[in-house]
């Protein structure tokens, strides 16, 4: 049975490395579409400090179009299989039961579902049956439309309530409490101000959700907007790693369990430094 404490000792932030096996992801689309390139990069992420590598074959950037099941399977499963054979702990980033099942068959340990099991409700039963880990994420709308004027009356309360409901659904399906983690969905149907409000309220969100948190802020557009306020420019996502590290340190100081990042080496170093200072 997978538990989130399997990744790192209690009290140390775990690092999830991002591996997009897609042609159109916002930061690295197309770089790792070739299976050999993807496996090489996944192994490098692990060597540089990723406790788990998250493999996804369908972009969830704003405006992204859906991918057919067969194509997602073609992209993802050979990569999962090869990484597991190389002793890398793997999660699969998918909303599709067929892809999750094939990835778990190939040795993946976690299902990371940006719809929190709403796209295909059978997902929760599958994760429970396989005793896998589960990431339940909040998203307003869908990738194609989520950034079209997102609105909340109280973003912290609404996201917290959603996460609590999905954590409850996962528990009711038989997923172990220690296998569930909640993701507030930074950048998924949120403005800059919404994202900042959620980051400011991380301990409150964990309490509302009834589960530890995973935060994925890596290289996202809100960081560029935030930097612009101070007169800096970062139009290229690759220029946002320093800002991402600031969010990693912020999360480490607020008892977040996992951060999902592109730059695993920087994040692992930052997490270790915070751990040493706090010891």
Taking only the tens place, the pLDDT of each residue in 31-79 is: 787 999 999 999 999 999 999 999 999 988 776 678 899 999 999 999 9
Band of pLDDT at residue 150, cut at 50, 70 and 90: confident
Among positive and negative, which fits the CA dihedral 179, 16, 201, 124? Answer: negative
Residue 143 has pLDDT above 70, yes or no: no
Lay out the sheet containing 133-137: strands in order across: 180-183, 133-137, 110-113, 90-93, 52-56, 14-20, 258-261, 214-215
Higher pLDDT, 29 or 111: 111
Instruction: Determine whether 96 is an active site residue.
Output: no
Rounded average pLDDT over 143-149: 65
- DSSP bridge partners of 214: 258
Higher pLDDT, 132 or 235: 132
- Contact present, 13 and 51 (Cβ < 8 Å): no
Helices (H), 29-137: 35-47, 69-85, 97-105, 122-130
What integer pLDDT is reported at residue 234 of this predicted model? 85
Instruction: Determine whether 144 is an active site residue.
Output: no
Residue 137 has pLDDT above 90, yes or no: yes
What integer pLDDT is reported at residue 65 of this predicted model? 76
User: What CATH number corresponds to the domain at position 67?
Assistant: 3.20.20.20
How high does pLDDT run on average in the chain?
93
What integer pLDDT is reported at residue 279 of this predicted model? 67
* Options 190, 219, 220, 240, the catalytic residue: 220
- Tens digit of each residue's pLDDT (9 = 90 or more) over 193-241: 999 999 999 999 999 999 999 999 999 999 999 999 989 988 889 999 9
Query: Closest Cα partner for 56 from 73, 41, 44?
Result: 73
Separation CA 157–CA 163 (nearest Å): 10
Report CA Rg, the chain: 17
Instruction: Please give the share of the chain, as a percent, with pLDDT higher than 90.
Output: 81
- Tens digit of each residue's pLDDT (9 = 90 or more) over 244-268: 999 999 999 999 999 999 999 999 9
Count of structural domains, the chain: 1
What integer pLDDT is reported at residue 60 of this predicted model? 80
Band of pLDDT at residue 272, cut at 50, 70 and 90: very high
What integer pLDDT is reported at residue 166 of this predicted model? 98
What integer pLDDT is reported at residue 25 of this predicted model? 62
What integer pLDDT is reported at residue 187 of this predicted model? 92
56 phi and psi, to 5 degrees?
A: -130, 135
What integer pLDDT is reported at residue 62 of this predicted model? 72
- Its domain, for residue 72, covers 4-278
Q: Residue for token digits 């480490």? A: 252
Query: Closest Cα partner for 67 from 99, 32, 26, 38?
Result: 99
């Amino acid at each position: 049975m997978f538990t989130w404490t399997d990744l790192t000792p209690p009290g140390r932030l775990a690092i999830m490395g991002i591996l997009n096996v897609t042609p159109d992801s916002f930061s690295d689309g197309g770089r790792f579409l070739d299976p050999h390139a993807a496996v090489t990069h996944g192994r490098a992420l692990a060597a540089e400090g990723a406790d788990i590598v998250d493999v996804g074959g369908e972009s969830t950037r704003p405006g992204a179009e859906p991918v057919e099941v067969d194509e997602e399977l073609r992209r993802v499963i050979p990569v999962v299989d090869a990484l597991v054979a190389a002793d890398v702990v793997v999660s699969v980033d998918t909303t599709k039961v067929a892809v999750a099942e094939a990835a778990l068959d190939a040795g993946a340990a976690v299902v990371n579902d940006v719809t929190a099991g709403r796209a295909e409700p059978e997902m929760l039963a599958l994760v429970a049956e396989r005793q896998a880990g589960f990431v339940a994420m909040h998203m307003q709308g869908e990738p194609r439309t989520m950034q079209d004027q997102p609105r909340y009356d109280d973003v912290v309360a609404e996201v917290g309530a959603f996460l609590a409901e999905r954590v409850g659904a996962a528990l009711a399906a038989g997923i172990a409490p220690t296998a569930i983690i909640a993701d507030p969905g930074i950048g998924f149907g949120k403005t800059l101000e919404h994202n900042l409000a959620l980051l400011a309220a991380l301990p409150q969100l964990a309490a509302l959700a009834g589960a530890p948190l995973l935060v994925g802020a890596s290289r996202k557009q809100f960081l560029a907007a935030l930097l612009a306020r101070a007169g800096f420019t970062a139009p290229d996502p690759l220029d946002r790693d320093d800002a991402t590290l600031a969010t990693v340190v912020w999360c480490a100081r607020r008892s977040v369990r996992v951060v999902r990042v592109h730059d695993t080496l920087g994040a692992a170093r930052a997490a270790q430094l915070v751990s040493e200072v706090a010891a």
